[in-house]
């Protein structure tokens, strides 16, 4: 339990420090990625019952906090989060949905920002209850926005 609490405090400290410094969305997520990488070893798996925290969970937490704290610019923050950690597109997309993004809006923003994750976005949105036919339309809308 102590490890998990330490991890949350470290991640919260990361967000608070960067928010006070007035960083942009892109630099915030680049720093978040770097700090989560430092805090957690590459071989640490997903959070477990022993209270371990992972890099992916750290980054996902940063995404959720940033989206909640920047509601007016959430599309910009979501796009920056995807671009800063492309290997975490699934976790980032889920964090956006958990933060209140509509599945179709999330697909459109994500496809515009990082099109290589298109299949992941569609799969995740459908698993969150999106209509597969509308997922195709949202993906197409993302490509049109480029």
Instruction: Please state, in angstroms and as integers, the Cα–Cα distance from residue 104 to each residue in 18, 24, 63, 125, following that order.
Output: 30, 25, 18, 8
Residue 14: closest CA among 63, 53, 77: 63
Token pair 């770097």 is found at 34
pLDDT on residue 37:
86
Q: Residue 34's pLDDT is what?
A: 92
Tokens 């979501």 belong to residue: 78
CA–CA separation, 128 and 74 (whole Å): 20
Contact 2, 51 (CB under 8 A): yes
Please tell me the predicted confidence (pLDDT) of residue 79: 96
How confident is the model over 16-63, as pLDDT tens digits?
A: 444 433 458 999 999 999 998 888 866 555 555 445 578 889 999 999
Cα angle: 51, vertex 56, 61; to 5 degrees? 80
pLDDT band at 142 (very low <50, low <70, confident <90, very high): low
Give the pLDDT mean for 96-110.
94
What's the number of CA atoms in the CB half-sphere (13 Å) around residue 134? Answer: 10
Average pLDDT, whole number, for the chain?
80
Residue 100: pLDDT above 60? yes
Grade residue 133 by pLDDT with cuts at 50, 70 and 90.
confident
Q: What is the pLDDT of residue 18?
A: 46
């Amino acid at each position: 339990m102590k490890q998990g609490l330490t991890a949350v405090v470290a991640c919260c400290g990361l967000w608070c420090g960067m928010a006070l410094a007035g960083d942009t969305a892109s630099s915030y997520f680049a720093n978040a990625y770097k700090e989560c990488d430092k805090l957690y070893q590459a071989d640490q798996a997903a959070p477990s019952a022993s209270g371990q925290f992972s890099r992916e969970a750290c980054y996902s937490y940063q995404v959720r906090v940033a989206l909640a704290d920047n509601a007016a610019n959430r599309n910009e923050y979501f796009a920056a989060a995807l671009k800063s950690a492309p290997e975490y597109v699934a976790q980032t997309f889920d964090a956006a949905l958990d933060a209140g993004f509509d599945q179709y809006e999330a697909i459109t923003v994500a496809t515009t920002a990082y099109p290589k994750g298109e299949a992941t976005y569609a799969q995740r949105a459908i698993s969150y209850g999106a209509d597969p036919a509308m997922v195709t339309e949202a993906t197409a809308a993302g490509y049109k926005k480029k």
